[in-house]
Structure 1
Amino acid sequence: MKKLIVAVFAIATALWFLNTSMLTTPPSGTVKILAHRGVHQVFEPDGVENDTCTAKRIEPPRHAYLENTIASMQAAMDSGAEVVELDVHLTPDREFAVFHDWTLDCRTDGTGVTEETPMSKLKTLDIGYGYTADGGKTFPFRGHAQGQMPTLTEVFTALPHGRFLINFKSERRAEGATLAVLLRAHPEWRKSVFGVFGGSAPTQETLRLVPGLRGYDKQSTLACLGRYAAFGWTGIVPDACRDTLVVVPANYAPFLWGWPGRFAARMRDVGSEVILLGRHGGGDFTSGIDSAEDLTLVPKNFAGYVWTNRAETIAPLLGKRMAATNHQANRE
């Protein structure tokens, strides 16, 4: 029995030394904001399913920005966002429409599948048509957003200093190939693409055709985190976690070997960036760090990216927290 206790203690001690953040220097730099959909109208996420029209359940508007517009992206960057996430669909006239929904019926005055609609038609739609915060009694954005659905080309042109995480909404490999062609034709836009994710086929096709680009899909994320959970305690980083974007739900993060400092250092050493999401309770990885309470889930020395739906709120809160931390460090 005594030998067993000694063995267990020795193993526990070894695991602690291999994975404690106390004995490693976390990656340098400061936390960075990744603004999901730019600055946009938010909604209560509870009960939302794939076919839920979220424009019909927005909170009372606090600002005039609509998601995935050039104005909303600029507002996110003005708030302090380092990266803006946006959604794309490849239309029949070979343009990338920047719009979230698979169909047009929820948010716009149009109907049909987004990717099946020519960009020339999409440009005529009112993308604020369907928004309501009071069950359809009033529509505060109706008539104010005609023609504001941008193309990806327009985004790159209007915001040349921006960085974007591109979400493929389909499983069409042609989307990845088309994006690669676009970046080859305009090499100056390559620096604007922080990464790609979403549909596995277009994501993997883009990564194959654009050297050095990072990206992820559901399968690669599960492979990375699952294999790291299995043997990351050894300090070995699985190939699925190398040269990629590692998205981590905040409520799972404390269970990762070496979280936060040693985990982040390991990912940095294999060429990956860490994106901290909000709490994950099933469905897609799209919940964000959206409140002061959520900010308690972000380690104070975290130097990765924080995914948020409220960049205009979270960026100032993070700034105040960093200022307070720096002030305390100077006093010490």
Structure 2
Amino acid sequence: MKKFAMVAFVIAAIVWLLNSSILATPPAGETKVLAHRGIHQVHKPDGVDEKTCTASRIEPPRHSYIENTIASMRAAFDNGAEVVEIDVHLTPDRKFAVFHDWTLDCRTDGSGVTEETPMSELKRLDVGYGYTADGGKTFPFRGHGEGQMPTLTEVFDALPHGRFLINFKSERREEGATLAVLLRIQPKWRKQVFGVYGGRTPTQEALRLVDGLRGYDRQSTLSCLGRYVAYGWTGLVPEACHDTLIVVPGNFAPFLWGWPHRFAARMQAAGSDIILAGANGGGDFTTGIDSADDLALVPENFSGYIWTNRAEAIGPLLSKNLAASNDSE
């Protein structure tokens, strides 16, 4: 019995040594902000499903920005975002419309399926039309979003120094192929594409066609994290975790072998970046780190990206915390 206990102790000690962050040097670099939809109007999350019109249940507005507009993206970068996440739909006239919803009825004064509507028609819509915080008594953004739905190429041209995480909203392979063609025609835009994600088929097609492009879908993320939990204690990094973007829900992170610094070093060596989401960031992985309390999920000296729905608050707060940390050293 004593011999068995000793063997168990030695094995446990080896596993601890292989995975303890106490003995690991954090990878170089500072925490970076990834702004979901730019700066936008947030909504109450309770009871939301795929059919919920979230524009009809926004919180009382704290600012005037509307998601996925060039103004909201510029504001996110001005508030310290390193990357802005945007949503795209390939329209019948072969333009990428930058807009979140599958249909137009919720947020705009139009109707119908976004990807089935020509960009010339989408340009005439008011993207702020449907927003209300008081059950429809007032609509504070009506008239302020007319003509504000941009194309992806307009985004690239307007914000040439910005970097974007592109969310394919469909499962159409041609979306990934069309993005690859755009980047081939205009190589200067390639450096602006931080990565792609969303629909598995277009995401994987874009990754196949664009050298060095990184991206993920729900299946690839679960494959990476699941396999790492299974045998990452050995120090081996699953192939699914190589050369990609790894979304880690904040409440799941402590269960990853070597979290935070040894895990981060392993992913960095595998050519991957970490995107830390909020607690319960499973499912579509879009729960954000959106408050000062949520920042407790972010490890000290974390060099990855944090996913937020409130870049206007988190960006300045993070900069303040980093400045205070540097002053204390």
| Bin of the TM-score, shorter chain as denominator length | over 0.9
Indicate if the aligned counterparts of 2:250 and 2:281 stay in contact, CA closer than 8 A: no
Question: How far, CA to CA, are the matches of 2:221 and 2:112 in structure 1?
Answer: 31
Offset of residue 282 of structure 1: 4.9
- Unpaired runs of at least 5, structure 1: none
Match of 1:79 in 2: 79
Q: SS state of the match for residue 293, structure 2?
A: helix
Task: Show the counterpart of 1:175.
Answer: 175
Tell whether the 8 Å contact from 2:281 to 2:288 is kept in structure 1 after alignment. no
Deviation at 1:281, TM superposition (A): 6.0
CA distance in 1, matches of 2:86, 2:199: 14
Shift of 1:302: 0.3
Deviations 1:216-271 (A, max 9, x none): 00110011000000000000000000000011000000000000000000000010
How big is each residue's C-alpha offset from its partner over 1:167-191, in whole Å with a ceiling of 9 and x where there is no partner?
Answer: 0000000000000000000000000
3-state secondary structure, aligned to 1:225:
helix
Q: Which stretch of the first structure deviates more once superposed, 40-49 or 276-285?
A: 276-285
Q: Which amino acid aligns with 1:243?
A: D
* Corresponding residue of 1:236: 236
Deviations 1:188-211 (CA, angstroms, capped at 9, x unpaired): 000000000000000000000000
Q: Partners of 1:208 and 1:69 in 2: how far apart?
A: 29
Distance 2:323 2:5 in 1: 46
Asked if 1:307 is matched to 2:304, the reply is no
CA offset digits 1:281-308 (Å, max 9, x no partner): 6531110000111000000110000000
Residues 39 and 76, structure 2, Cα contact 8 Å, conserved in 1 = yes
How do 1:123-134 and structure 2 match up within 5 A? 123-134=123-134
Q: Which residue of 2 aligns with 1:105?
A: 105
- The whole-number CA distance in structure 2 between the counterparts of 1:173 and 1:87 is 16
Question: What residue in structure 2 maps to residue 213 of structure 1?
Answer: 213
Match of 1:29 in 2: 29
Which residue does the alignment assign to 1:55?
55
2:6 matches 1:6: yes
Partner of 2:16: 16
Which residue pairs with 2:294 in the alignment? Answer: 294
Displaced runs of 4+ in structure 1, greater than 2 A?
Answer: none
The 10-residue stretch of structure 1 (182-191 or 311-320) with the greater mean CA deviation from structure 2:
311-320
* Partner residue in 2 for 1:144: 144
SS at match of 1:292: coil
Residue 94 of structure 1 corresponds to 94
Kindly report which structure 2 residues correspond to 1:61-72, keeping only aligned pairs within 5 A, or say none. Answer: 61-72=61-72
Instruction: Give, in whole Å, the separation in 1 of the partners of 2:47 and 2:135.
Output: 16
Cα deviation, residue 321, structure 1? 1.4
**Cα distance in structure 1, aligned partners of 2:280 and 2:31:** 20
Kindly state the Cα deviation for residue 16 of structure 1 after the two structures are TM-superposed: 0.6
CA distance in 2, matches of 1:130, 1:56: 6
Structure-1 separation of matches of 2:283 and 2:249: 12
| Runs (5+) with no aligned partner, structure 2 | none
Whether the 8 Å contact between 2:249 and 2:282 is mirrored in structure 1 is no
Indicate the residue corresponding to 2:204 in structure 1. 204
Counterpart of 1:97, as a letter, is: A
Q: TM-score, normalised by structure 1?
A: 0.98
Inter-partner Cα distance in structure 2 for 1:108 and 1:2: 71
Q: Deviations over 1:74-111 (max 9, x none)?
A: 00000000000000000000000000000000000000
CA distance in 2, matches of 1:83, 1:283: 21
Aligned counterparts of 2:100 and 2:181: Cα–Cα separation in 1: 22
Residue in structure 1 matched with residue 277 of structure 2 by the alignment: 277
Secondary structure, in 3 states, of the residue corresponding to 1:23?
coil
C-alpha deviation, 1:44, in angstroms: 1.4
CA contact (8 A) 2:249 2:281 kept: no
Matched, 1:117 2:117: yes
Q: Which amino acid aligns with 1:83?
A: V
- One-letter code aligned to 1:156: F
Give me the CA root mean square deviation. 0.8
Q: Which amino acid aligns with 1:303?
A: S
Q: CA–CA distance in 2 between the matches of 1:168 and 1:28?
A: 31
1:326 maps to 2:326: yes
